[in-house]
Chain A
Amino acid sequence: DAGVIQSPRHEVTEMGQEVTLRCKPISGHNSLFWYRQTMMRGLELLIYFNNNVPIDDSGMPEDRFSAKMPNASFSTLKIQPSEPRDSAVYFCASSTGVLYEQYFGPGTRLTVT
């Protein structure tokens, strides 16, 4: 298994543009998590899904952020419009939910200029 797959690995965009981050969880995992990592705030949970249903989106910073999970093998995190303060590394993780261990993807480094 290739593990959790994220794309793109790096994204540089201009302020105001729409950004879409993608995640493919490990096959068979029924929980998916989106995190944001910054130097100032560390690792923050943005939203997580269980069986494709959003369970807790209280970490989503603003209405500019949205996430979807149309099926068990794909999820997107969209920022529209993007702002420089959104610059961070965004991680996706998946879990079976049974043993609580989360498997992380390599992350997408987003830079908004």
Chain B
Amino acid sequence: AQRVTQPEKLLSVFKGAPVELKCNYSYSGSPELFWYVQYSRQRLQLLLRHISRESIKGFTADLNKGETSFHLKKPFAQEEDSAMYYCALSRRSNDYKLSFGAGTTVTVRA
């Protein structure tokens, strides 16, 4: 069975400082990894996925199969980045099931 671990429940950084949210997974197959974000009073929404290799709102995430990690990074945090972030894993199969980590609440201070 697959499992997603986000070791930090809370993360506080100052505006302009780098921020890194850790995500580790366990899965014997070839996974699809995602980061979802939930801003205050908004819906949970997809931030980025590893397969797209894109940068969204300055965030990037690299899949490291050797370390089974998919850490989310941003070099200069902004106050609007304050939100709850979830790492999620989907198996490359037809069942479309997402397994979420416990989430990390990020607070960016001025």
Q: Determine whether B70 belongs to the interface, using a CB cutoff of 8 Å to chain A.
A: no
Q: Which residues of A contact B46 (CB under 8 A)?
A: 101-102
* Among B32, B98, B99, residue most surrounded by chain A Cβ atoms (within 10 Å): B98
Q: Determine whether A34 belongs to the interface, using a CB cutoff of 8 Å to chain B.
A: no
* B78-96 interface (Cβ within 8 A of A): 86, 90, 94-96
Interface flags, A89-108, vs B, CB<8A=1, else 0? 00101010100111111110
Interface contact B97-A91, CB-CB below 8 Å: no
Q: Which residues of B contact A41 (CB under 8 A)?
A: 102
With A101-B46, A106-B43 in contact, is A45–B100 under 8 Å at CB? Answer: yes
Interface contact A3-B102, CB-CB below 8 Å: no
Interface contact B98-A102, CB-CB below 8 Å: yes
For the complex with contacts A95-B96, A102-B98, A106-B43, 14 further pairs of A-B residues with Cβ separation under 8 Å are: A31-B96, A35-B100, A41-B102, A42-B102, A42-B103, A43-B44, A44-B100, A45-B97, A45-B100, A48-B97, A50-B95, A55-B95, A101-B34, A104-B44
